[in-house]
Structure 1
Amino acid sequence: MNKFFLILSQAFMTKLKSKAFIIITVILLLGVLGMTNMGRIMDLFGAGNDIKKIAVIDETGGVYDLFKASLKTIDEDVHLTKETDSSEEAMRKNLEKEKYDAYLIIEQDKEKIVKASYKAEAITDTDTMGTLQAALQGVKSNLAANQLKLAPEQLLLLNEPVQFDKEALSSHAKSAEELNQARGMVYILLFIIYFAVIFYANMIGMEVATEKSSRVMEILISSAPPLQHMFGKIIGVAMLGLAQMGLVLTVGYISLSQNYKNMKEGFFEFFGFGNMESSTIIYAIVFFLLGYLLYSTFAAFLGSLVSRIEDMQQMIMPMTFLIMIGFFISMYGLGNPSASFITITSYIPFFTPMIMFMRIGMLDIPTWEALTGIAVLVAAIIALGIFGARVYRGGVLMYGKSNSYKDIRKALQLTKNQ
């Protein structure tokens, strides 16, 4: 056991001190600080830049005032200037001189229906274009109401959105508001689980492949059994991942506490972190660890089959696809988490870490279903661990070009002959 803990600590400390790990940790911390200070950053860089100057050429002769009043009720940051004597050529020159951000030509067709043409150096500002279109739509509706001699109350009734109430009959089901909050929160946590699992599992595979390519593996397996070597690395990197995530979450929590008032609305409220349940965080950690153990065991024995680092990416590509498939199914499930397809795939071990967690976060499922998903994962980890250990034991002794899954049989045969 002393050798096992020595390998574990070596895997942990070597990666902890590596430049790549430090750089990635710093980038993660900067990302978290950026997200939790988003309001201040936007105020810092956006101050004075939110005002849009739009010139208007009103060829109808009477729509501009209505249009300006309509726009004011939608967005006061879009400022209009009426141009009466300017030609389009003059307007284009004004755009080049940045006197305006864009200009709008308002016309009427043969049926006296209002239409407009928006012209700018680039039509990438979809927010401003959408605002102008919405304001002009209001003007068009008012003019059409006048032609049809509709009273203001009748026009308001016509434009009023239909009432569409949503009610869950099950006492355990979440309300529409709770689902929206859970959806944003689970969306963020799924990304964390996905990238963490794929990153740390790949780290294990690359570490094993690197040791084999440098012939360090021959020294290591002569001093410690291959099984201790494999699981020592897996658990060591797991501790490294927890340390990194713990640091990032701690810094995020401290920064979030200082900016909570500024983030009560907008991003923070949209993603539902204001009503996050502690049980959801616990499940996220549990499924991250189990998902990591499953895929890292997979990556470790795959890494033992290759002798060159160049072959590693090709060897673990199917494993990467499995993680991606589970992630994409989870993303689909955010829109319909109760679908039978989602329920079935949540019990497939390679998909369980993300899909079962998504169901737990989105639905009020019975505890036994969550525990069943955990049990399925644990059983799969044990089975893959036993099989992977046998492959690993023979695989670390194999050298030469190896990028085929047929080599698993060779590795198992070497294990039997030991």
Structure 2
Amino acid sequence: MSKFWTILGFTYTSHLKSKSFIITTLITLVLIFGLANFQNILDWFDDGEGANHTETIAVIDDTDQTYSKLETSLTNMDENIEVTEFAGTEEEAKEAVKDDEFLGYAQLTLNDQGLPAAHFYAMSIAETNHVVDVLQQSLSQVKTEMITQQAGIDQATVQQIFAPVSIETESLQAEARSTEELNQARGLVYFMIFLIYFAVLMYGNMIASEVAVEKSSRVMEIIVSSVSPITQMFAKIAGIALLGLTQFGLIILIGYASLKTNQSELVGGIFEYLGLGETPVSTIVYAVVFFLLGYLLYAMLAAMLGSLVSRTEEVNQMITPMTLLIIAAFMIAMYGLNDPTASFVTITSYIPFFTPIIMFVRVGMLNTPFWEIALSMGILILTIFILANIAAKVYKGGVLMYGASTSIKDIRKALQLSKKE
């Protein structure tokens, strides 16, 4: 057992200290920090004015009746944009904009129907599109108010006309979840899909490459003479798993801390959209279980395929079938997010190599019966045990195979070689 821990520790520390791991982790952490603080970074580059900076627009009102209504409407619509009535000429207003006294100026007129119209001037229209949009919406409200007044319709009636109709949704399918429950599960489902996808691709490739490197340097011959191949395989899988937990732990910690700093309470905003505020404990438990089972399944497959090659250049070609499996699972899962009750999604959720992702989509998006979840887990665990037995035998013979090997047909050769040992 001591040899197992020795190999596990060596696998973990060697990758932990590698430049590629450190650089990749740092880049990922910087990206996570940048995304979490995106608005603060924009504010910092925006001359330090901050998110609550008020932009002032000069207004020349040729109608003598529109400005006050526009000011009221604009105040209710966007508190960061204010207007001030300009008493000078158009040329003076343009010069004031050029001197940065105002962000721009708007000239209010009436069209042929006697309704509000405007002409907006600014140094750069591309940088003031949001201001133009707000002005347009505010003037539209003013126009609506003027039309209704002319027609003798009171404002209370207008508000009733434009108020959205309330629609309550309720699904008749027994396994379907309510809108609130879907919102609570959406974030974790998205996160788990990408987590399993990238973890399998990244760490599966790392396991396969680790074996290939040792074979190409002939270190494997020394290791095999002192440690059983089965011990090697499971020690490497556990070591890379620990490495993955370390990396993802740092990412989650930095991401959570960054979001927490920008939002005192993890509610509203992105948390409300992704449903991360009130995720059910059972969903989190299923997420952890499916992630671990999925990693074990693909890690053993990667170790088995990696043992068949003798050079690192052959690794990518050898693990292509595994990569295609996880890509297929990812694509089906993305489809399942929109239609989790589809029979195609239900059937594939019981296929072991798809189960970790697709069954979790069903668990997160539907009220899936426990017996279905238990059945899928049972099939997955049984497959892991069967694959572990096959992978151990293939690994035992594969680590002793040298020469060009880019076909999974070499599994038979590895099995035959393992019987001779």
Q: When the two structures are superposed, what TM-score results if normalisation uses the length of structure 1?
A: 0.80
Gapped runs of 5+ residues in structure 2? none
- The match for 2:89 is 85
8 A contact 1:209–1:312 mirrored in 2:
yes
- Say whether residues 1:349 and 2:371 are aligned partners: no
3-state secondary structure, aligned to 1:164: coil
8 A contact 1:181–1:272 mirrored in 2:
yes
Gapped runs of 5+ residues in structure 1? none
Distance apart, 1:77 and its partner CA = 0.9
Report the Cα distance in structure 2 between the residues aligned to 1:204 and 1:300, rounded to whole angstroms: 6
Distance apart, 1:230 and its partner CA = 1.9
Provide Cα deviations, 1:239-275, integer angstroms capped at 9, x if missing partner: 3333444566567778888887443433334433332
3-state secondary structure, aligned to 2:55: strand
Distance apart, 1:40 and its partner CA = 8.4
8 A contact 2:170–2:178 mirrored in 1:
yes
Report the Cα distance in structure 2 between the residues aligned to 1:213 and 1:122, rounded to whole angstroms: 62
- Say whether residues 1:191 and 2:194 are aligned partners: yes
8 A contact 2:55–2:103 mirrored in 1:
yes
- The match for 2:325 is 322
- Give the letter for the 2:387 counterpart: L
- Say whether residues 1:134 and 2:137 are aligned partners: yes
Provide Cα deviations, 1:265-315, integer angstroms capped at 9, x if missing partner: 333344333323322222111111111111112222232233333333343
- The match for 2:214 is 211
Q: When the two structures are superposed, what TM-score results if normalisation uses the length of structure 2?
A: 0.79
Provide Cα deviations, 1:154-212, integer angstroms capped at 9, x if missing partner: 32122110111113457875432232122133323433333333322222122122223
Q: Percent identity?
A: 45
- The match for 1:338 is 341
- Give the letter for the 2:15 counterpart: K
Provide Cα deviations, 1:81-136, integer angstroms capped at 9, x if missing partner: 55663369947x946x6555566666666556656677663647776565444334
3-state secondary structure, aligned to 1:349: coil
- Give the letter for the 2:323 counterpart: T
RMSD: 4.1
- Give the letter for the 2:322 counterpart: M
3-state secondary structure, aligned to 2:268: coil
- The match for 1:234 is 237
Provide Cα deviations, 1:327-355, integer angstroms capped at 9, x if missing partner: 34333433433333332232222222122
8 A contact 2:271–2:277 mirrored in 1:
yes
- Give the letter for the 2:153 counterpart: L
Report the Cα distance in structure 2 between the residues aligned to 1:225 and 1:361, rounded to whole angstroms: 41
Structure 1 residues 102 and 376, CA gap change in structure 2 (3 angstroms) = farther
Report the Cα distance in structure 2 between the residues aligned to 1:2 and 1:281, rounded to whole angstroms: 34
Report the Cα distance in structure 2 between the residues aligned to 1:163 and 1:138, rounded to whole angstroms: 22
3-state secondary structure, aligned to 2:350: coil
- Give the letter for the 1:375 counterpart: G
Choose which of 263, 287, 290 in structure 1 pairs with 2:290: 287
3-state secondary structure, aligned to 1:80: strand
- Give the letter for the 1:319 counterpart: M
- Say whether residues 1:175 and 2:215 are aligned partners: no
- Say whether residues 1:372 and 2:359 are aligned partners: no
Provide Cα deviations, 1:5-30, integer angstroms capped at 9, x if missing partner: 43233223323343444455556666
